[in-house]
Structure 1
Amino acid sequence: MKKDLINQCGQLLIEKGLTIAFAESATAGRLAYEFSLVTDAGKFLQGGVVCYDAGLKEYLLDVPVQQITQFTPESPEVTRSITLGLSKLIDADISIGVTGLTCPGGSEKPEKPVGTMFIQAVKQGKQLFASRMWFDGSQEAIVNATVDYVARQLITILSGSDPAKII
């Protein structure tokens, strides 16, 4: 994991006067932790929810049980729902949700192997990005790669490198 990516992202959030919050399943709070280490993190980091268990996704973030049953807790549909649920729970400009498979035992199958991660970001209800990524390696390597990916996506968006995603 590259701390300079997180620091650059944090500084861009501060420069833009934006706040951020995380709903984390597979990353289990790692995003919020890493962003909390940025100098002046209190200027942009609102908080986060670790919703590793499907019951927390339902109870705390209003994910419909039927959605979890139909699509599995590790899916783009559930990731979108936890992200939108987070935006109702924590007042932040940007809400990011992450689900995925960092180790065997979830909903993995040949078309959704371990290492598959779903990441969604919204700003005031509008989607900034939605990604399905696959990262190789250990559980920790997958989590670290996901954190790096989120930071890179946010840097691209916040720096205006992607004109379609201007904030």
Structure 2
Amino acid sequence: MPSPIVLQCSKALADRQLTVAFVESATAGRLSAEFSMCPESGSILKGGLVCYDASLKENILHVPKEMLRRFTPESAEVTRELADRLQTFIPADLHIAVTGLTCPGGSETPEKPVGTMFIHLFTRGKSVAVREVFSGSPEEIVLQCIDRTAVLILAEVPVISEQL
């Protein structure tokens, strides 16, 4: 069962006849799955891509190899690029990318510890970036990130609605 904030977000999107598409790395499809279990999923969720491995970011979404090397696959810059490139693959009102570090073994540093998650949203020419550091198990980090993504969408939905 999706969290209350995801259910609220789904309803808000449906009430405004808005659609969403996701490209996921660290959440590995869980974000799309949570939204797919909402009663409004058929009218709001366009789909998603899972690009967990950096090679998929490069080979499917054509993120430049140099960008991945320079910033790391789990970075604000790459997350923005993923959200931007998703727009050419899946038509939707909101395009959202998520990357991050849910467990050791990635690009973690003292400045970017495990639990650091990046979210980027594109909608109608607007771009919004979020960086959060969560704690807990990998699943707890993913679920916190999903809820934070829903909060981000809820913050943007009224703005989008005014542009309609």
Q: Does 1:72 align with 2:69?
A: no
For 2:160 and 2:51, the matched residues in 1 are separated by: 31
Show structure 2 runs of 5+ residues with no match. Answer: none
Residues 84-128 of structure 1: per-residue CA shift (max 9 Å, x gap)? 11111111110000000000000001111000001000013421x
For 1:55 and 1:10, the matched residues in 2 are separated by: 31
Q: Percent identity?
A: 50
* Structure 1 residues 166 and 153: CA distance shift in structure 2, 3 A: farther
Residues 23-42 of structure 1: per-residue CA shift (max 9 Å, x gap)? 00000001100000011311
Q: Does 1:108 align with 2:111?
A: no
Q: Does 1:46 align with 2:46?
A: yes
For 2:80 and 2:19, the matched residues in 1 are separated by: 19
Runs of 4+ in 1 over 4 A off after TM superposition: 163-167
8 Å contact from structure 1 (residues 63, 82) kept in 2: yes
* Structure 1 residues 35 and 2: CA distance shift in structure 2, 3 A: closer
For 2:66 and 2:161, the matched residues in 1 are separated by: 32
Query: How far did 1:152 drift?
Result: 1.2
* Structure 1 residues 166 and 26: CA distance shift in structure 2, 3 A: farther
What is the aligned partner in structure 2 of residue 155 from structure 1? 154
2:119 is matched by which residue type in structure 1? I
1:147 is matched by which residue type in structure 2? I
CA RMSD between the two structures: 1.8
For 2:20 and 2:40, the matched residues in 1 are separated by: 13
Give the TM-score normalised by structure 1. Answer: 0.92
What is the aligned partner in structure 2 of residue 14 from structure 1? 14
Give the TM-score normalised by structure 2. Answer: 0.94
8 Å contact from structure 2 (residues 25, 100) kept in 1: yes
